[in-house]
Chain A
């Protein structure tokens, strides 16, 4: 019942495997795993671990995009939640710090949802506001400095492990499970797809679109806040200027690579996470191969264009379109 994979998604999983194999060719030790101090290490683990923030973001983003929206503010929300968690970590118990950071994320999401669902703003514009202002708010919280902390409890979110598996990976798996159960275990997922497919039609058939959309943006805010906590605890500090910078774009790419249309409608959580892993596997591969990391952006752009072209309904009409253009 939960996830439908067959046929759809084959391309993404094949792409991930191919990229991992290329990584293996570039670096022969790529698949080596070793257990040290009760935690797994190795390049493969690294791909999953480094990809965790984007995977978390893409879990929220995929739902937002499925409703036909987009959330540009997730990077700024990451910065805010990281700043809150880092500044509270040493003075309060970790549940307070984490709770406050997650709460801030939910509030940011509620604000976005309010603008989109109640004030009926275009999602790009509505979330642009928080994207611009949010980083300012984060800097306000950290007073423009890079706040560091030493609490091992909070650091566990970034560097700890559960049964040998790094915490970020566990968090992603947990969030994927929870989101999947909530969305696919009930009719919620169907309603979200309906809202994205045709908002008016679903409203007329009695779906409460507005609370649904607000809830989806709040969930996206929560995911972003969790990603912010992971990113902050990874470096044991919060940098309001750079935390989550450009990650909103990576998250959108992950969702697009995962086959969810930017116009809304059908979505797949697991393929979005797969998309995030594809992006990270490419990044790691470029680093391992010794090419300058500057190649990352160009390669990413090329991949996006290829995926989009493959998804484009116009591709089948390409020949005809070319003919018309030349005329």
Chain B
């Protein structure tokens, strides 16, 4: 129950925002707009799902944007230059990402370092390596890519539910199941609530940390694949700053940055709210794109202040020791 209020508020904000847009622009409330909202933010939704796990466990992962950039370059080069079949490239890439995340998680746990600085170094490494591989934009011409972009489920009203939107929805559903209905998910909440208590309860904290960062990096890799479907190119400067958008989406989705509380569904709606702001600005036409950043900042502030108030209220009603949301 404790997890419900922030998500409900996020959902309300989204509905209110959508209603405002629909009232202002007659064509807004169509399946076309909604489907585009899902397609344009597909990669953000995938990577934000992974970030939700990390943040609920009390960590943070700043490397995801660079991992997406690395992925697009890696996929483009291995398909176009080395002639690898796309599927093989994807598998190899996801394995690489898993190893990358595992190393970061291991360093965080075994050297007791702040996740912030370790993933910062990871961000430099991933971006640096993608620069080293190629600084040019490489178009991907593999037939799989045109197949993927041609395929879509047609919705009534002209909306096209594209492959990458479906991938994102799939990740969100699987992520929700993993977080809310498995032992792994329960442990993630426990870690964010109180690390020491969790270790004393018999959870192997080290392997858990490693797995959480592996999950985040693998999902960032998947997001990179989705991004490469979206742009049909690999470019080492793609997805700069996405880590911030991702964290913002997770926070707006009601996940507590101190860990211990949050949900994948909230994150999903947080992603949609960011997409909604962008879409509104596109529809309006007179507003400039930098209003997106300002609006996101204001929303971030509002939600963090709200969380702060909720946490303080909870602390006041109980002496201390609020934290773990699930047993």
Interface residues of A (CB under 8 A from B): 70, 115, 119-122, 124-126, 128-137, 139-140, 143-144, 240, 249, 252, 256, 262-263, 292, 294-301, 304-305, 308-309, 312-315, 321, 325
Contacts and interface: CB of A to CB of B under 8 A. Distances in A.
A297 B125 contact: yes
8 nearest A-B residue pairs (beta carbon): A133-B297, A136-B293, A297-B128, A294-B131, A298-B128, A301-B124, A139-B290, A136-B294
Nearest to A122: B257
A308 B107 CA distance: 10
Contacts of A321: 110
Given A132-B296, A135-B293, A144-B290, A312 B113 contact: yes
A137 B112 CA distance: 37
A72 to B, nearest CB: 9
Contacts of B120: 249, 252, 304
B225 interface: no
B interface residue count range (under 10 / 10 to 19 / 20 to 34 / 35 or more): 35 or more
B124 A309 contact: no
Given A133-B296, A256-B117, A297-B124, A140 B111 contact: no
A296 B127 CA distance: 10
A137 B127 CA distance: 27
Contacts of B110: 314, 321, 325
B286 interface: no
A294 to B, nearest CB: 3
Contact of B244 (A122, A132, A305, A315): A132
A305 B121 contact: yes
Contacts of B118: 305, 308
Contacts of B257: 122, 124-125
B303 to A, nearest CB: 10
Contacts of A300: 124, 128
B121 A136 contact: no
13 contacts: A119-B308, A132-B244, A132-B297, A133-B300, A135-B293, A249-B124, A256-B117, A263-B114, A292-B131, A294-B132, A301-B124, A305-B121, A308-B118
Contacts of A70: 116
